[in-house]
Chain A
Amino acid sequence: MALRRQSVVLAVLLAPVTLFLGVFFLLPLLIIALFSFLSPGLYGGVEWTFYHWNYGRIFGWADGVNEIFEPIYLKILIRSLGFAALTVVLTLILCYPVAFWVSRLSERWRLLFLFLITLPFFCSLIVRLYAWLLILKPTGLLNTILLRAGLVSAPLEILYTPTAVVLGMVYVMVPFMFLPLYVSVDTLDRAQVEASQDLGANRVQTFLKVILPQTLPGIAGGSVIVFIPAVGNFVVPDVLGGAKGLMIGNLVEQQFLSARNWPFGSALSMIIMAVVLAVLMLSVSRARRAGGHA
């Protein structure tokens, strides 16, 4: 009886979120999945006929009649994955040592630092990216300083390059990497670190054999949380990237808003989702293997 009652309570509690996700997340997703197999309407929208050429246009089985295969889409996809991976690596390198430093601060300074890390969320992303635009442009802050200091003779061309895109994404993603990392570093058992040294392991060995494995959940969590939005990001390349900084998210945006090719945009979206899902499953299964029992 008690069990039955519990499951009723559980169902009641879960109903609102299930309904919400079902209507506003799963349904649109199914619509996009469906659209990706339909043909584009003349002025946007879709024609209700089965049409696999959207994918053919990306992966290469387009016959040249319905659609034309253009390798640029795959290139942009691979570039996006590369940018996202680079963003993960750079945020990780930036945040990992800082997490250790912060976890050793006194209570007061630690809270202040955690507040500072979340401070960017108080300001619109677009505004912050335009600030970067002002910093990076040829007559911007960075170049002015470098020129005045005599470190460069001509302004650096950073804006509208892949460098600017990665820089912007690293900037945006740092808090997402830092917080999970910090949690795992903060809960690291210091006694185990001492035990390792006590048993003769030097600092490098202790790091590789004890500290790194113990903080792996944080590294994996932060990486996934950074990688997923980074792959599909279109705001950063929109503001800071030029033609060479274009990412797959921008393509999707263009297909829906400018080219009015909804089915093709949907197909691109599905590909992003497939890649993200694959990465997620890989990291979960690896984490499970590394974590083992308890």
Chain B
Amino acid sequence: MSALLEINAARREFVTPEGGRLAALDGVDLTVGANEFVTLLGPSGCGKTTLLRAISGFEMLDSGTMRLGGADLTVLPPFRRPVNTVFQSYALFGHMTVARNVGYALEVAGASRTVREGQVAEALEKVGLSGLGARRPGQLSGGQRQRVALARAIIAKPRLLLLDEPLSALDRNLRQQMQLELKTLQHSLGIAFIFVTHDQEEALTMSDRIVVMRAGRVEQIGTPRDIYRHPRNRFVAEFIGETNLFAVTVDRIEGSLALARTGEGVEMHLPATGRSVGERVTAILRPTDFTLGNGGIPGRVTRVVYLGSDLYIFVQPQTGGPEIRVIARDGAGTEEGAAVHLAHDPTRVHVLEAM
């Protein structure tokens, strides 16, 4: 994979109103490939927006370097960077028509009127807004404004497009539709997207790779499957998707299986590889990793949430301890108060060595 963007040891501090110092970026390394869709994911205040603004040039790094296609970007002002942004608020120019908004990058670059008109029409067509060029942004719906912002950001053919939570203001249906469209657009343009979101579902659906951030640091970089199945630590495991965490002690090892037990006495099987008796680890199981059957952890259903074809049920283990969250098929024996056994495939258990 040829690297398009390389960020090394990026650091940016802010002075808090109380006079303290807060590192919004605390030594971030990141490489983005030429056609990659990378998502920056994390809770608010994790530094994802600061990282995006550092790439677009609105935040200067205190230290560290940034290169785009081999050229040093670190100290360039925003208007000299071959990078464009779709802003969270869209930031459309209210005093200009849609067409002039979209053609703005060409206008300031000194392109002739005919060139501009052709490319504006092309860009509007790409986002499905042909014929709306004469309108003002104020006359468009939220979804349409979003598309204008997109068309405006891609018209100058940037090699890297930055998107700052662009879908957060849209309703659910439109958001899902835009997710697919963005993905398609990225493929057809053949450029890299860096997408900021705090919505883990959005990150899992759209990304080639996800960068999970917390408190100015990168917690984990990986494909959506990687991040979901093999979270590096508790934070990532809990932030991405629903998770059951068990603090267990390995009791004994039988062949390829290790038998482990929580403090309350919930028993589970882990892959034996790398385990030793008496070791304390965290076992991670997703709600879909359990099956209701005859063997396994005995417990009682305390709450049922209807999801459609599936049920989301909370099971209180007989031996005590926190409730286990399970997604099960809608069927008999899943009503509230039912006694159930939760079985799991030991190979689906992800083990964190740190507690």
Contacts and interface: CB of A to CB of B under 8 A. Distances in A.
Interface of A: 189, 191-192, 194-202, 205-206, 209-210, 213-214, 290-294
A199 B136 contact: no
Contacts of B79: 197-202, 206
Given A194-B78, A195-B93, A201-B104, 9 more contacts: A195-B85, A195-B87, A195-B91, A197-B77, A199-B104, A199-B105, A200-B156, A290-B95, A294-B139
A191 B136 contact: no
Contacts of A194: 58, 78, 85, 87, 91
B49 interface: no
A196 B58 CA distance: 12
B interface, size bucket: 20 to 34
A81 to B, nearest CB: 30
5 contacts: A189-B89, A194-B87, A198-B78, A200-B156, A201-B79
A292 B136 contact: yes
B142 to A, nearest CB: 15
B94 interface: yes
A146 to B, nearest CB: 43
Interface string B137-165: 01100000000000011001000000000
A291 B107 CA distance: 20
B138 A201 contact: no
Contacts of A200: 79, 105, 108-109, 156
Interface in B99-156: 104-105, 107-109, 136, 138-139, 152-153, 156
Contacts of B85: 194-195, 198
B56 A199 contact: no
A294 B104 contact: no
B94 A199 contact: no
A197 to B, nearest CB: 4
Given A194-B58, A294-B139, A199 B84 contact: yes
B298 to A, nearest CB: 56
B77 to A, nearest CB: 7
A293 B139 contact: yes
Contacts of A292: 95, 136
Contacts of B136: 292-294
Contact of B156 (A199, A206, A294): A199
Contacts of B89: 189, 191
Interface string B61-94: 0000000000000000111000111010101111
Nearest to A293: B136
A220 B91 CA distance: 24
Nearest to B104: A199
A192 B93 contact: yes
Interface of B: 56-58, 77-79, 83-85, 87, 89, 91-95, 104-105, 107-109, 136, 138-139, 152-153, 156
A192 B91 contact: yes
Contacts of A213: 95
Nearest to B138: A294
Q: Which of B83, B93, B109, B136 gathers most chain A CB within 10 Å?
A: B93
A189 B108 contact: no
B84 to A, nearest CB: 6
B58 to A, nearest CB: 6
A198 B95 contact: no
Nearest to B108: A201
Given A294-B136, A294-B138, A198 B56 contact: yes
A14 B91 CA distance: 40
B58 A210 contact: no
Nearest to A201: B108
B353 to A, nearest CB: 44
Contacts of B95: 213-214, 290-292
B136 to A, nearest CB: 5
Contacts of B104: 196, 199, 201, 209
Contacts of B94: 189, 192, 214, 294
Nearest to A202: B79
Contact of B87 (A191, A202, A291, A294): A191
Contacts of A209: 93, 104, 107-108
B93 to A, nearest CB: 6
A106 to B, nearest CB: 9
Nearest to B155: A199
Contacts of A191: 87, 89, 91
Contacts of A202: 79, 108
B87, B94, B105, most chain A CB atoms within 10 A? B94
B18 to A, nearest CB: 14
A191 B94 CA distance: 12
In the A-B complex, list the 9 residue pairs whose CB atoms are closest, starting with the nearest: A294-B138, A191-B91, A195-B91, A199-B105, A201-B108, A197-B78, A197-B79, A213-B95, A198-B85
A259 B77 CA distance: 66
Contact of B138 (A189, A198, A293): A293
Contacts of A294: 94, 136, 138-139
A241 B108 CA distance: 48
A209 B58 CA distance: 19
A85 B187 CA distance: 57
B269 to A, nearest CB: 53
Nearest to A198: B85
Nearest to A290: B95
Nearest to B164: A191
Contacts of A210: 93
